[in-house]
Structure formats: C-alpha cells, structure tokens
Amino acid sequence: MSRRSGKPQSQTRARARAFALDPRLAIGVVLVVASVAGVVAIVATSDDSTEVYAAASSLTPGDRVMSSDLVIRSVKLNEATDQYIARGELPAEGFIATRPIEAGELVPTSSLGSHDGLSLTSVVVSPQGGLAATVATGASVDVWASAEAEEVGYGAPAVIISGAIVVRLVEDDSLVSSAQGSAIELLVPRSRVARLLEAMANGDVLSVIPANLPAEG
C-alpha cells in the first residue's frame, strides 16, 4: 500500500520540477515581452503628433479668447509646429483674435494679439466709391480721408488709419449704410479712433483701400 501511494506523489513532484525548469517556457515569455516592447517602441517613435489648440466656435477679430473657447486637437504638423499654438503655450490671460478663425480651425500664432499691445476697438464707417473685391472679412485695409477745402472742393487724401482689420461688411443695413457707399465694420487702434470720428463728423470723404494684395498664382 505504501509503495502504491508514494508513486503518484513522486510523479507529481517530477512534473512540477520539469514545468518549473522547462527552458521553452522561459524563452516563450521572453519573446512575448520583447514583442510587446517592440510594438510600444514603434508606436512611440512613429507617433509625432502635436497637441495644439483649435477654435471651439467661430471667432472674429477683436474677440477675447480664453482657454474655454478652445479645444485640443492632436495633429501632425511636421515643420509647421511653430506656426500654431501648442498645448500649454496659451497665455493665462487669453488673447485678442486679430483675424477670423472658423470653428474647428487650428489657432495660428499669427492670430494672437495681447490686450495691452493691440488695444483695438470696432468702428462702423461708410466709405465712398465702393469697396474693392479683396476687401472682405479679415482683410487688412488703410482708411484714407479727404477733407473739404475752399475753392478746390476737397484736399489731397491722406491715410488716417493704417492696417485696420475688416470685421464684417454691412451692405444691407440701412441704419449704418450711406447713400454713397456700403458700411463696413473695422477693427482699429484706440489711439486712432478720435481721428477717425473727427473725419466722419467733418464730412470728410472716406475711402477704404486694401493694405496688401494677395500674390498672383
């Protein structure tokens, strides 16, 4: 009886030792670990995406933009990384948009303006003589004024605001449109508002001219 009962136990111990010392198991574990590590390394090196900010909704020039107005997008920018605002680079006080940004559009660094540096405000003016086709929302324009002069009608025009930003065209708004031309809302430096209002009050002839033209393709 004792011999029969001892044989199964010895066989069990032998199998346990064989299982514990089986080199094939160790090699298999090493291969699995190496495979997983290799896949992780490949994914890490191939994923060169950058987290940048995008507009949660449409933004217009002059809007004060905070982090709550933006969302994070992970995109591949390659050499263009410096042209957009990366996650963590947003000023704590936000920024002033200097150009239109559509909903979902990545926020370019060129659209950032500081609250102290820009000090912009919007003014609606009614230029005479119509507007060029390139004068659209977001365009940079110069405002020219020609004051009424004795005997000669109007004096030579001069630039009173340089580099104003077009916020919108209000061609059909009868409250702000004039009989001579369509009204246009401009984003102008506060330091030039008084000069613009003076020209408007004096009845000067105002013209809005594109500050720059797109390059020909």
Per-residue pLDDT reduced to its tens digit, 99-153: 788 899 998 887 777 665 557 788 999 998 788 888 888 888 999 999 988 777 7
Residue 43 pLDDT > 60: no
Tokens of 33: 């670990």
The pTM score is 0.53
91 vs 68, higher pLDDT: 68
**DSSP reduced 3-state for 169:** strand
The gap from C-alpha 133 to its chain's centroid, in whole angstroms, comes to 25
Does the structure show a pLDDT above 50 at 2?
Answer: no
Which residue in 97, 108, 115, 126 sits closest to 201, CA to CA? Answer: 126
**Cβ 39 vs Cβ 56: under 8 Å:** no
Distance from CA of residue 121 to its chain's centroid? 20
Residue 115, classed as helix, strand or coil, is helix
3-state secondary structure 82-141: HHECECCCCCCCCEEECCCECCCCECEHHHEECHHHHCEEEEEECCCCCCCCCCCCCCEE
* pLDDT (average), residues 88-101: 82
Q: 77-80: which pairs have CB atoms within 8 A and are 24 or more residues apart?
A: 77/50, 77/52, 78/48
